[in-house]
Amino acid sequence: MLERLPTPWGLVRLGVAPDHPKLKTVSRAFERIALKPGFRFFGNVEVGRDLTHADLTRLYDAVVYAFGAQSDRRLDIPGEDLAGSWSATEFVAWYNGHPDFQELQFDLNVERAVVIGNGNVALDVARMLALTPAELEPTDTTDPAIDAIGSSTVRDIVVVGRRGPAQASWTTQELKELGELAGADVAVDPAELELDAVSEASLEHDTNARRNMEVLRDFAAREPTGKPMTVRLRFLVSPVALHGDEKVQSMELVRNRLEERDGRLVAVPTDERETIECGLVFRSVGYRGVGLPELPFDERRGTIRNERGRVVGDDGAPVGRTYCAGWIKRGPTGIIGTNKKDATETVAQLLEDLHEGTLAHRDEVTAAAVEDLLSERGARAVLYHGWTSIDELERAAGEKLGRPRVKLRTWDELLEAAERVAAETA
C-alpha cells in the first residue's frame, strides 16, 4: 500500500467527523489486513512525485488505485473566492488535522455562517460549527479547532439546498443528530416542506427521503428552546453571488422551482431573490476526483475510466494489470459500506484476470525492488512500524486527556514520530 501521507486510513482519519468515533472503528479492519504476511505500507510516497504509473506496473504484477476524490466542485458564482468563503473540504481537513491544511486561518467570529449543499458533508460542517466545548472535548478534533469552534461567535448556521427536502442526499441518522445538539436549536420553515406532486410520489419508493421528511416535519413543529445557536435548514434556494469588500458580508440567493428533466427533478431559478447577511460560507457541493497523467480519465465524472474496476482506455480496451476502487472509480458518493462492496467488485475482476491468465506473476517482480527504487529516488518512506509509532504517540497523548488521540498535525512532527522507532532500533 502506497500512500501520499505518512498515515493510512484516508478519510477515516481525515474526513469522518471527529464526533462520529464509531464510524472510525472500520480502521480495525485495516489493522487486521495490515498484519497479514505480504502486506507492506509505504507512507509519504506520492505517485506522480516519487513513483510513476509505469514504475508501478514494472514493480508489481497488478496495481489498484484507490486515491479517492482530492478536490471539490466549484459553484462558479461571483465572489466565490472572497475571504471567508471556504470549501467544506478545507474546513473538514483543518479540524481533522490534515497536515496540508493546518496553516488555514478560520475566522469564526461572525454572527452567521451559511453552508451550501444538502449532503452529509454539509451536515458534518453545520454540526461541527454548532458543537459546544463539552461536546468537542472528548473527540480527536485538533486543539486549534476546538479552541476556534469553542470560542466562535456564530449564532446562526444556515444550510441551503438548491432542491427540495425530498431530494436532499442526507442519511436520516445524520439528519436526526442535528435535532440533538446541546448548544443549538434546529429550525425549519414548514412552508418549505410542502412538496410538489412528483416529490410526494417519490417518497413511496425512496425510504431515506421518506424518513428524512418525517424528521424534518418534527423539526418544523419544534419551538425554539433558547439554546445559544440555531441551525436553520432552507430549501429550494441557490446562491447566485457572494458580496463583500474584502471578505464575505452577504449572500444573494435565488428561489428555485423543481422541473422534471430526463426523469430527474432539477432546480430551475425563478425571479425571486433575497440577500442574507453572513460572514462565513462553506461550499459543500461535492468532491471531485483528480486523475494521474498516465491514466485514462473521464473529465466529466472526475473518475478513472474503468469497467467495474478494470481500468480501460478511451477505446474501452483494458489497460492491463491496472484497477481502481472507491471514489476515483465511481465518483464521490456513498458511505463507507458502499466502498467495501465497490472494492469487492474490483478485486473480483482482478481475480478473474488471474484465473483467465491475463494477469500473471512475473519473475522480475520482487519485494525488494520497490524499496531499492524508493531509496534510489531519495524518498523518505514511512513503513508500517513508522505509522504504528505515530499511532502510539497520538493515543498515549489522548489517553491522558480522555480523548481517543491527539493528532500530530505537521509533516515534520509526523515524520519525526515515524522515524523515532527506526532511530531507536538503529
Residues that bind ligand NAP (CB under 6 A): 73, 75, 116-122, 124, 161-163, 167, 169, 171, 174, 238, 284-287, 332-335
Nearest to ligand NAP of 10, 286 (CB atom): 286
Shortest Cβ 85–ligand NAP spacing (Å): 13
Nearest to ligand NAP of 53, 162 (CB atom): 162
Shortest Cβ 369–ligand NAP spacing (Å): 36
Shortest Cβ 267–ligand NAP spacing (Å): 6
Sign of CA dihedral 346, 348, 350, 352: negative
Nearest to ligand NAP of 21, 320 (CB atom): 21
Q: Is 335 exposed, middle or buried (0-12, 13-18, 19+ CB in 10 A)?
A: exposed
Shortest Cβ 60–ligand NAP spacing (Å): 29
Cβ within 8 Å of residue 62, ≥6 positions away: 321, 322, 323, 350, 353, 359
Shortest Cβ 284–ligand NAP spacing (Å): 6
Asked if residues 96 and 13 have their Cβ atoms less than 8 Å apart, the reply is yes
Shortest Cβ 258–ligand NAP spacing (Å): 10
Shortest Cβ 237–ligand NAP spacing (Å): 9
Q: Report the alpha-carbon distance of residue 247 to residue 245 in Å, rounded.
A: 6
Question: Other C-beta atoms within 10 Å of 160: how many?
Answer: 23
Cβ within 8 Å of residue 102, ≥6 positions away: 94, 142, 144, 409, 410
Site of grid cell 497523467: 293
Q: Which three cell numbers stand for residue 54?
A: 509505469
Nearest to ligand NAP of 6, 239 (CB atom): 239
Q: Which three cell numbers stand for residue 378?
A: 531519495
- CB-nearest residue to ligand NAP: 119
Nearest to ligand NAP of 120, 346 (CB atom): 120
Nearest to ligand NAP of 110, 254 (CB atom): 254
Nearest to ligand NAP of 80, 392 (CB atom): 80
* 3-state SS string for 324-377: ECCHHHHCCCCCHHHHHHHHHHHHHHHHHHHHHCCCCCCCCCCHHHHHHHHHHC
125 HSE (CA, 13 A, CB side): 31
Nearest to ligand NAP of 151, 333 (CB atom): 333
Site of grid cell 502506497: 2
Instruction: Pick the closest to residue 68 from 141, 140, 9 (CA basis).
Output: 9
β-pairing, 306-307 vs 303-304, is unpaired
Nearest to ligand NAP of 323, 327 (CB atom): 327
Shortest Cβ 125–ligand NAP spacing (Å): 9
Shortest Cβ 112–ligand NAP spacing (Å): 18
